[in-house]
Amino acid sequence: TNIPWQKPPQLTFDSTTADDIYIACGTGIQGKKCGFAGRYEEYVIYFSSSIGEEITFEEFEEILRYIDEQISIRLYP
Report if residue 35 sits inside a domain: yes
pLDDT, mean over the chain: 93
Structural domain contains residue 7: no
pTM for this prediction:
0.89
Q: Which helix (H) or strand (E) holds 28?
A: strand 20-28
Q: What is the pLDDT of residue 1?
A: 55
Residue 3 in any domain: the answer is: no
- Who has greater pLDDT, 1 or 14? 14
Q: Which of 27, 25, 30, 28 is nearest to 47 (CA)?
A: 25
Q: What is the pLDDT of residue 68?
A: 97
pLDDT tens-digit readout, 22-62: 999 999 888 899 999 999 999 999 999 999 988 999 999 99
How many domains does the structure of the chain reveal?
A: 1
Q: Please enumerate in sequence order all residues whose Cβ is within 8 A of that of 12, keeping only pairs 6 or more positions apart, or say none.
A: 61
List 40's β-bridge partners, or say none. 43
Assess contact for 39 and 57: CB atoms under 8 A: no
